[in-house]
Structure 1
Amino acid sequence: MPKRLPVFRLIALLEGVSYMLLLFIATPIKYLYEDPQYVKLLGMPHGLLFIAYVVMAVLIAPDMKWSTRSLWIVLIASVIPFGTFYIDKNYLKKKHA
């Protein structure tokens, strides 16, 4: 198992959860109740987790022996709702559990 894999899996989980909170809780509150505080509160941590996810994906790709196509799938998944959970199940967990 690559040494960075547990860290990447944790970042992927946190990034996915922060994205869900931002999309399905903070954003509706912002527009329905005109209260942007939750978007402000969650925006920065989510942005940092997103950047960490992308950097870790690029760093871990050689250890995981991902093709260029697989790396792009992993990267694109970070902008799709629930995408990081799919990546964890299909690209991270099954090969090195």
Structure 2
Amino acid sequence: MKFFRLISIVEGISLVTLLFVAMPLRTYADMPLAVTYVGWVHGILFIVYGATSLIASHLSGWPVWKWLLVLFLGVVPFGFLYVDHLIRREIPNASAARTA
């Protein structure tokens, strides 16, 4: 679950970078390669995010709607912050279940 949390944060930062740094650079500074490079990185990270979200949902026993919500939040700017909140809320429950 910690790996999925890390991937979620990195993918979210790449989306925000693409939308709020690379795209304005392309439009206002005539630097189209910014979108090309950041877009490639973001695309690869989103594929990894989708795969790890599926694995995390299976290991955590999430219902399908929760997995779809987490997957949808991967394309929403700053949605990764809510996903991080969901994961952090779930981690203490998992550690408490192991100690009991």
TM-score normalised over the length of structure 1: 0.89
Who is 1:12 aligned against? 8
Who is 2:96 aligned against? none
Who is 1:92 aligned against? 87
Q: Which runs of 5+ in 2 are unaligned?
A: 93-100
Partner AA of 2:15 in structure 1: Y
Runs (4+) off by over 4 Å: none
Give the one of 32, 35, 39 matched to 2:35.
39
* 1:62 equivalenced with 2:30 (yes/no): no
Q: Give the CA RMSD over aligned residues.
A: 1.0
Question: Distance in 2 between the 1:85 and 1:49 partners?
Answer: 16
Q: How far apart are residue 10 of structure 1 and its match?
A: 0.8
Partner AA of 1:41 in structure 2: Y
Q: Which runs of 5+ in 1 are unaligned?
A: none
Q: Structure 1 vs Structure 2: percent identity of aligned residues?
A: 33
Superposed CA offset, 1:15-58 (max 9, x none): 00000110001001101122112112211111111000000011
Which structure shows the bigger proportion of residues in helix conformation?
2
Q: How far apart are residue 86 of structure 1 and its match?
A: 0.9
* 1:75 equivalenced with 2:71 (yes/no): yes
Instruction: From the CA coordinates, give the structure whose radius of gyration is larger.
Output: 2
Partner AA of 1:39 in structure 2: V
Question: Distance in 2 between the 1:62 and 1:29 partners?
Answer: 39
